[in-house]
Amino acid sequence: MWLYKPSGLDMVRRRDLAGFSHYQVTGELLRNVSEVMQVTEIEVGSALHELKRRGLPYKYDLNIYRGCTNGCKYCYAVKSHSYLGLESFNQEVVVKTNIADRLEKELSSTNWKKEIINIGGVCDSYQALEKQYQLMRQVLKVMIKYKNPIIISTKSDLILRDLDLLDELAGHTYVNAALSITSADENIAKMVEPGASSPYLRFKALREIDKTKAYTGFHLMPILPFLADDEATLETLVSWAAEAKADYMLTGMLYLTGGIKSRYLSFIKQYYPEYFASYSTLYPKGGADKDYKSKVHGYLSKMRLKYNVNNRYSKFLPK
């Protein structure tokens, strides 16, 4: 039996879902993720989290899940898990089962100013468990009821399940849906982001979302040195953004700060030992070497011009 009580949260139920793997692991979304995963259902006091950080196009975050089965080797959010007393970010996931009810309460308040809500800033809202829980559908229905603007980014083509709701919401207000794609190579993606949809499925999902009224984004973040930073790969990804008619494409470097560095480098050492020494040279600290960054940025700018891909999402933001 699995026993723990996450601190700082009101836990009312606990389930041991060892048998859960029987129906989830066979699905496309959980490929390569361990068959044993533990899920804790909780009820939360509020759905929205006000961010302290300014300079973002949104002030509020909504995360349905804590923990993420996508299992990205560079995941920056792993740290946020430890305060819950959980060890494995990818295999111990907390589900906020009453999140839509709480959201409704918050959006119906006369104090709420219809601020943009960023959905899934810490964990992917369309990760494998969402297939079962369908909480995003509930959340989107609440957003539609209150015509509340949203931003969402995912690595899963499960977002296509909710195309109807995204389209309906985008008919009322600002909706920005982005797919995060870091490589064009299925094998690399399987290694680096084992629980996410394949890059091609993500690209196809973006193409489908373009048919709705939502704005679409292509997030090439982080750029993966030596694995997916060669000119041919970067050109393919920019051409995908153009082909999917993404309204914008954001790119970002890989940062190896704090605990991410040792975790990521031990992954490289184990699975790509030929690049280990190069990574150590490229990352004397948390950020990549300056010359490397300007070379990659320079090449991406050239490709954006070639494929006419915009890199500014701010121009689509509601006034």
Name the minimum Å distance from CB 76 to ligand SF4: 6
Q: Residue 116 or 129: which CB sits closer to ligand SF4?
A: 129
Q: Give the residue among 221, 263, 207 at the shortest CA–CA distance from 73.
A: 263
Report d(CA 8, CA 29) in Å as an integer.
30
Name the minimum Å distance from CB 236 to ligand SF4: 21
Name the minimum Å distance from CB 134 to ligand SF4: 19
Residues engaged in binding ligand SF4 (CB under 6 A)? 68, 70-72, 75, 77, 123-124, 155
Token pair for 316: 């689509």
Name the minimum Å distance from CB 75 to ligand SF4: 3
In terms of Cβ atoms closer than 10 Å to its own Cβ (0-12, 13-18, 19+), residue 159 is buried
Q: Residue 153 or 176: which CB sits closer to ligand SF4?
A: 153
| 318, 174 contact by CB (below 8 A) | yes
Q: Residue 242 or 265: which CB sits closer to ligand SF4?
A: 265
Type of residue at 20: F
SS3 call for 256: coil
Name the minimum Å distance from CB 47 to ligand SF4: 18
| 42, 4 contact by CB (below 8 A) | no
Q: Give the residue among 38, 30, 36 at the shortest CA–CA distance from 71.
A: 30
- Within 10 angstroms of residue 110's Cβ, the number of other Cβ atoms is 5
Q: Residue 189 or 303: which CB sits closer to ligand SF4?
A: 189
Q: Residue 82 or 294: which CB sits closer to ligand SF4?
A: 82
Which position has the token pair 């792993």?
A: 78
Q: Residue 129 or 244: which CB sits closer to ligand SF4?
A: 129
- Within 10 angstroms of residue 135's Cβ, the number of other Cβ atoms is 19
